[in-house]
Structure 1
Amino acid sequence: MNSSPPPRARNRTAPTDGPMQPRRLLIRLLRPVATVFAVGYFVLDALAYWVVRPAVLRIARLPLFSRLGRWVAGLRPYPSLILVLVPLAVLEPAKPVGAWLFATGRPMAGVAVIVGAELIKITLVERLFHVAKPKLLTIGWFAWGYVRVTAWLAWLKETAAVRAARGLLDGLRRFGRRVGRRLSLMMRRAGRG
């Protein structure tokens, strides 16, 4: 009889102090790139929203949007999803196209594309999503993704880069208001004189 101890079972888990697994390393390397891209995207989105917000508020008061809201509220979940995703899929690529036009020496065309797409997106897609959201959240996989995306966006909004960008936008907004008030005052004075 062999009285030697049984062979040791191999530990199939990865060592904790060894080299990093390729997938984790890739995620660790890509996270800052994805964060920079997302911050840039949200800054561009916020700038476009800041420009079109006054027009959006006026357009949103039109009777057409209340009728559209009632119609969307009567849809089932998947038709509501299609109604939200199709215009979004068409409008979101317009921002990179506008940025490309701006970068290639056609700033007016670039700004027009970005502002136009943002105006349509905010007035149409965001209104549709707001009305359809309760039905969309009844779709299991959509609710699962929505929770994760909103959690990631909440985390992203609290990063130092986004807070700095938000501060810059607030400063630009205050500066724009001051310039607007001064121009208005100058025009009133010029009209009296």
Structure 2
Amino acid sequence: MRILRGIATLFALAYFLLDALAYWVVRPVLYRISRLPVFARIGRWAGGLGPYPSLLLVLLPLALLEPAKPVGALLLATGRPVAGVAVIVGAELVKITLVERLFHVVKPKLLTIGWFARGYRRVTGWLCWLKETAPARAARRLLRRLRRLGRRLSLTVRRALRG
């Protein structure tokens, strides 16, 4: 049983690290997109929904977009790398933009559903534990180093282009 938990933890860690990396890469774009007036209108509309319609509003895009990752992986595995990457990146962009914004708006309503609130607390507790594991800390250190390297490279390129 401990082996299965370890394997599940590694898979979950890899999944969440990939999601976190994707979010880190697209965050500047998402910030600009989230400021569009359409998101304010959607937020006002979603804020007026009840708890269960709010849950459906969040789950529907997730149910439609999560299967895109395995489809993208299948395209990659069958020798169509451009299509595979396009499917994965496109679905991730839409998912992060839409689901994150919707969840942020309707979270207070969702937490009024008893079983959802219990599950949310359990998942967030598990994620807190997972984030403090040695592999997660190592991954955060690596991401910080990569971010610093990216900034240095960007600065070097900008200086070279100017001068």
TM-score, scaled relative to structure 1: 0.79
SS at match of 2:32: helix
* 1:109 counterpart residue number: 83
- Distance in 1 separating the partners of 2:82 and 2:154: 21
* Amino-acid identity (%): 72
Q: Supply the AA of the counterpart residue of 1:55.
A: V
Alignment of 1:169-188 (within 5 A): 169-188=143-162
SS at match of 1:170: helix
20, 40, 44: which one aligns with 1:46? 20
The answer to whether the Cα contact below 8 Å between 1:52 and 1:118 also exists between their aligned partners in 2 is no
Structure-2 change in CA distance of 1:127 and 1:62 (3 Å): same
Give the drift of 1:103: 4.6
| 1:104 CA drift (Å) | 4.5
CA, structure 1 residues 97+163, in 2 after alignment: closer, same or farther (shift >3 Å)? farther
Paired residues for 1:125-140 under 5 Å: 125-140=99-114
Counterpart residue identity of residue 126, structure 2:
W
Give the 3-state SS of the residue equivalent to 1:90 in structure 2.
helix
Consecutive unaligned residues in structure 1, runs of 5 or more:
1-25
CA RMSD of aligned residues (A): 1.5
Quote the Cα distance in structure 2 between the aligned partners of 1:147 and 1:48: 24
Instruction: Confirm or deny that 1:61 pairs with 2:22.
Output: no
Q: Match of 2:105, SS?
A: helix
Q: Which residue of 2 aligns with 1:79?
A: 53
Shift of 1:146: 0.6
Runs of 5+ in structure 2 lacking a partner? none
Instruction: Flag the 1:45–1:64 CA change in 2: closer, same or farther, 3 A.
Output: same
1:33 correspondence with 2:14 = no
CA shift in 2, pair 1:45/1:79, >3 Å: same
Question: Following the alignment from structure 1 to structure 2, what is the Cα–Cα distance between the partners of residues 111 and 178?
Answer: 27
Q: Which of 104-113 and 171-180 deviates more? A: 104-113
Dislocated runs of 4+, deviation >4 Å: none
SS of 1:75's equivalent in the other structure is coil
Q: Count residues with an aligned counterpart.
A: 163
The separation in 1 between residues aligned to 2:106 and 2:39, in whole angstroms, is 13
Q: Which moved more, 1:89-98 or 1:155-164?
A: 89-98
The structure-2 alpha-carbon separation of the partners of 1:100 and 1:157, relative to structure 1 and needing over 3 Å to count, comes to farther
Moved more, 154-163 or 113-122: 113-122
SS of equivalent residue, structure 1 residue 168: helix
Structure label with greater radius of gyration: 1
